[in-house]
Structure 1
Amino acid sequence: MTSESSGGTLHTKVLLIGGTGFLGRHVLNRLSTAGTDVTVVTRRPPAVPAGYEVAELDDRGPRRAQFASMINRFTPDAVVNTAGEIWRNDASLLQAANAQLPEQLALAMADTSSTARLVHLGSSLEYGSLPHPHATDESCPQEPRSEYGRSKLRGTRRIFEIAQQASLDVVVLRIFNAIGSNMSPASLLGKTVRTLEQARRDKRLARLTLFDLRQHRDYADARDLAEAILRATVSRRPVGAPVLNLGTGQASSAYDLVRGLALASEVEFTIDVLPAPEGGGRSLAADWQIADPTLARRHLDWSAARTLPETLRWIWRTAGEGQAHPIAGCPAEGTR
């Protein structure tokens, strides 16, 4: 799959689906710095940094045929799917982006008899919840409690069905709560950054609010996740497991996250904790969840390298650099 020049530069051709979303942009940056030849498949060509080849998705045409045409044209060694819908809690949008799009991509690879590796980004919320202090490994029940998680699981299962029929080389990397620079303003940290920035400009106390969800999650640095995705993409040998969990193996609360970012900003702040809303979407889908990253260490020689305080300092230091992923977005671009 991958060759190297005498200087050690990677010569992997990668078709990157959705490289303009939050995590997709970090993946694009890591693939590029590693020396891979990246073509970005997107509905938003202007959002792609200069210097990259772009293949534009057309809403008027069928996804399957468009993907097949791109695969035939670029003959990639690997196809990385970072596209998906996350913030709009609309069942039809979630289904289109998280289930139908990966299905159409896998079908296109089967249609073209592609030998490329398909690296698909799944979600920790494809699993059910476990009680404290248990960690989620790849054998845990797949019993998602949110429509987001159910749509992601439908996409994963459909990919594997097609892969089995067409002998595709597929690995699914289940992401546990990616955080990093330029997060969506709809996210907890995105909202916190904006509040802290405004308070700093106005030279006043930042009043931060969050729901009392009593959740603990596994928050992983987007740069560490992008490194794991790179390793799965350029590996010459079979990954060794069809699904790998990517996380730190440590849990933090939403309160810890907000307070840590506020401390990193050095802006004076207060935190108001509000009663949790009834019902709930993606954010209420798991009370306790941390990854067991054993298989990722074994098969990718990867583990999270950065601490949560380090990541929060990076998020604040880079606040305002570039344009955050828009709330509205589109079903083919948002990323876990």
Structure 2
Amino acid sequence: MMHNILVTGCSGFIGTHVINALTKAYSEDLIYGIDLKVNNIKLTDGLDAMLTEKNIKQISQFIMKHKPDIIIHCAGVLTNDKSLALASNFNATKLLIAVLCQADVNCGFIQIGSAAEYAPIPYLQKVDEQFSTIPQNAYGESKLQASLFVQEMSRKKIIDGVVLRLFNPIGSNMNQNTIVGKLCKSISEGKEIIQFGNLATYRDYIDIRDVVKAIICAIDNIKNISGEIINVGSGAAKLTRKLVNDIICASQTKICYTEDSCGSNRSNLTIWQEANIDKAIKLLKWKPTIIWEDTIKNIAESNFD
């Protein structure tokens, strides 16, 4: 079955991996993108625009022209600035769905959510989708509002929407504001020392290639999972310090690092995260398959070879 697929945030970390996978998995499909920079991305058509009221006419015309049957909403900003988080993560989602209503386009809508929507998780506990949603920062709060809005619109039959709550996707070409992105940039630039926040935290790191496979499974099952919120993680927490040490080892450099035990404002209240992925296995017919060593090898090869 052919699709018209629209990917927002198509030039970001998740978006670029999604586009690359879609062009391989659905070679005959039409794939569109909306982002600030779409020129260097392989698309059927692209729109350079942010999802804001200022650009609503452009966005409406673009969607009415192409009438996507699937939207993968990757656009968003990882920030603890309350106004920016609200505008980029919640208001942008509302605007996109409002445009769909105006254009009378009923489609599958895959919302990329975040584990930051959950309350702090007790040590050694796996968190399922029924766990309390008490975000500890502006980013998590804005993502939660967007997730609940997508769920509400799905129940009203305005869209066939599903929220995939990603835990900590890692892979090649990560943003420099992330631990992996910052580390890889520093190694590539030949720095001898780098400073991090608190690395004594545990996160459910999942290979971005496994995340993309989950997104493709959601496309294939969208009618059956409309209205659902589904965790996408590896199901196994790893110490963040191990992530840093393993990448350094794979890079074969002698870079050193220091730690600030206070951590960042965005994540210092979260010491432990581990996903229960039973729902993803059941509803998406998906489970992660890429082992930790292959993830580290892929990051190293894509950044240091």
Give the TM-score, by structure 2 length: 0.91
Q: Is the 8 A contact 1:63 1:105 kept in 2?
A: no
Partner of 2:247: 261
Q: Report the Cα distance in structure 1 between the residues aligned to 2:140 and 2:14, rounded to whole angstroms.
A: 18
Q: 1:228 to 1:198 in 2, by over 3 A?
A: same
Partner of 1:40: 33
Matched, 1:104 2:90: no
Q: Report the Cα distance in structure 2 between the residues aligned to 1:138 and 1:65, rounded to whole angstroms.
A: 36
Question: Which of 54, 75, 78 lines up with 2:70 in the alignment?
Answer: 78
Q: Deviations over 1:271-309 (max 9, x none)?
A: 4333325xx422224111111111111111111111222
Q: Which has the higher contact order (CA 8 A, sep 6+)?
A: 1
Task: Say which is worse superposed, 243-252 or 153-162, in terms of deviation.
Answer: 153-162
Gaps of 5+ in 2: none
Task: Say which is worse superposed, 161-170 or 127-136, in terms of deviation.
Answer: 161-170
Aligned pairs for 1:114-129 (under 5 A) are 114-129=105-120
Q: 1:115 to 1:163 in 2, by over 3 A?
A: same
Matched, 1:23 2:23: no
Residue 67 (structure 1) shift: 3.7
Partner of 2:280: 296
Residue 183 (structure 1) shift: 0.6
Q: Deviations over 1:53-107 (max 9, x none)?
A: 1123268854554443333211211011000000x43211111111100011112
Q: Report the Cα distance in structure 1 between the residues aligned to 2:145 and 2:261, rounded to whole angstroms.
A: 32
Partner of 2:48: 56
Question: Which of 252, 266, 271 lines up with 1:287 in the alignment?
Answer: 271
Q: 1:294 to 1:241 in 2, by over 3 A?
A: farther
Aligned pairs for 1:310-325 (under 5 A) are 310-319=294-303
Question: Which of 191, 194, 198 lines up with 1:212 in the alignment?
Answer: 198
Number of matched pairs: 303
Q: Is the 8 A contact 2:10 2:34 kept in 1?
A: yes
Matched, 1:68 2:60: yes
Matched, 1:224 2:216: no
Question: Which of 230, 233, 237 lines up with 2:219 in the alignment?
Answer: 233
Gaps of 5+ in 1: 4-10, 322-336
Q: Report the Cα distance in structure 2 between the residues aligned to 1:81 and 1:73, rounded to whole angstroms.
A: 18
Matched, 1:175 2:161: no
Q: 1:209 to 1:164 in 2, by over 3 A?
A: same
Partner of 1:184: 175
Q: Report the Cα distance in structure 1 between the residues aligned to 2:209 and 2:128, rounded to whole angstroms.
A: 22
Structure 1 counterpart SS, 2:32: strand
Structure 2 counterpart SS, 1:143: coil
Q: Report the Cα distance in structure 2 between the residues aligned to 1:93 and 1:162, rounded to whole angstroms.
A: 23
Residue 220 (structure 1) shift: 0.7
Q: Report the Cα distance in structure 1 between the residues aligned to 2:226 and 2:154, rounded to whole angstroms.
A: 15
Q: Report the Cα distance in structure 2 between the residues aligned to 1:309 and 1:222, rounded to whole angstroms.
A: 14
Q: Deviations over 1:171-226 (max 9, x none)?
A: 00001011110111121111111222233xx8xxx434333352100001111101
